[in-house]
Amino acid sequence: MDLATIVAISWWMILPLAGLGSLLHFLYDWTGPKRFIAVISAVNESYWEHIKIAVWPVFLLQVVLFACGGWRYPSFVPAATIALYAIPVAMIGLVFAYKYFVGRNILWLDIVLFAVVIALSQAIFVDLVLRLDAGVWTIAVTAAFLAGLVVAFARFTLIPPREPDVFIDPITSEYGLKGHIDPRRRQRD
């Protein structure tokens, strides 16, 4: 796959990525308590879980693009890594900024910002993959950062840090899997 095709696919996938991330919001409830599903889907309403469901679809696309020819471009891994790191930064920045002014979460705005963050990530990836001149050390360092990000997103649902702003479920005041409310139990209560 040539670079122009990688760029075109990256742009065209913004809405499907947002749609897949939205589905990941409900996957854990749909499938029941499976640890693998918990790693890739939202298990509670914390900011971390909402960031996670944006990161995994973008990461999946990048893995596919890398396997289909992205490996030939030295800028691919650094661009992908920076784009993935932009997701938590942008999501926290944008959501906390609007909450500062309105004082609460607004569901429709959260959904729009979810898609905007994915679009920003894709824009960063496209810009960097086209313009970055990455050497071996840049690729190695960003690959290590990428591995760290993947490990963090895989681990922090199962063993979350006790950090009260990003990792705590605002409904249950619990962390990680303990913050999950079983929708079947909710209907009976």
Q: Locate the domains of the chain by residue range.
A: 3-180
pLDDT-based confidence at 166, cuts 50/70/90? confident
> At residue 66, what is the residue type?
F
Beta-ladder partners of 168: 175
Rounded distance between C-alpha atoms, residue 24 and residue 16, angstroms: 12
13 in Cβ contact with 62 (< 8 Å): no
**DSSP single-letter state for residue 91:** H
Q: Which single residue is written with the structure tokens 């790191």? A: 85
In whole angstroms, give the CA distance from residue 184 to residue 181: 9
Cα 77–chain centre separation: 17
pLDDT tens per residue, range 136-149? 999 999 999 999 99
Burial of 7 (0-12, 13-18, 19+ CB in 10 A): middle
Instruction: With cut-offs at 50, 70 and 90, classify the pLDDT of residue 188.
Output: very low
Beta bridge mates, 175: 168
Q: Which of 10-19, 102-111, 116-125 has the lowest mean pLDDT?
A: 102-111
Contact in structure between 50 and 111 (CB atoms under 8 Å): no
- 38 contacts 159 by C-beta, under 8 angstroms: no
Mean pLDDT to the nearest integer, 52-71: 97
Is the pLDDT confidence value at 99 over 80?
A: yes
What is the rounded distance in angstroms from the CA atom of residue 14 to the CA atom of residue 1? 19
